[in-house]
Amino acid sequence: MSQALAHRSLRIPRLSRLGWLMALYAENHALLQHLFAPAGLPLGPHVSSVGDGLDVHLEIEARHAYTVELRLSYALVDPVTGEPDPSAHVRLYRDARQAEATHCYVGRRWQDVIGLYPPPAAILDHRLQMNTFLGKWLNYLSERGHGPRTLTPLEPVPRISVFQRVGP
């Protein structure tokens, strides 16, 4: 019996951590496309409301030939930093059909989590955690009823630069 089990386990391919991460990217792309279809949205802020008091904010920040950069967050703000919490910055690769959480803000910055000069294994682990978080969040939003029909565009909020002159 143990010999048959050992033989069967040799036939099952193992997935490396990098392979697992690429699979998460593909899964997140499918979830994101199903939820909001961001590749076809115009630049700017959008909000998805299902009446539960937790509106989802989706901002299409940039569109390039093969990528779309977006930010996903709630209207909740961290009282210490003033940043939306939780939030995720996502790069959607339209040609490769992958969505990568480039950074997330869930209470702490990446430098606080893995340091300024982390070893490559720590970076890979952190990317796995961020993209697992994104996948779970997207599944949760789908279960709550968010989708293309609940998404409406908002007027862009003007941002004042530190270098912009205010007044005469």
Q: What is the pLDDT of residues 87-141, one digit of tens each?
A: 899 999 999 999 999 888 765 566 666 777 888 888 888 889 999 999 999 999 9
pTM of the model as a whole = 0.79
| DSSP 3-state of 11 | helix
Q: Do 60 and 46 contact (CB within 8 A), yes or no?
A: yes
Whether pLDDT at 154 is above 70: yes
Provide the Cα torsion 25, 26, 30, 35; round to 10°: 0
13 or 23, greater pLDDT: 23
Rounded distance, CA 107 to CA 101, Å? 16
14 or 40, greater pLDDT: 40
Q: How would residue 166 be classed by pLDDT, with cut points 50, 70 and 90?
A: low
Q: How would residue 146 be classed by pLDDT, with cut points 50, 70 and 90?
A: very high
pLDDT value at residue 84: 78
pLDDT value at residue 31: 97
Of residues 138, 136, 111, 108, the one with CA closest to residue 122: 111
Instruction: Give percent helix, percent strand, percent coil of the chain, each to the nearest 5.
Output: 40, 25, 35
CA atoms lying within 13 Å on the CB side of residue 110: 19
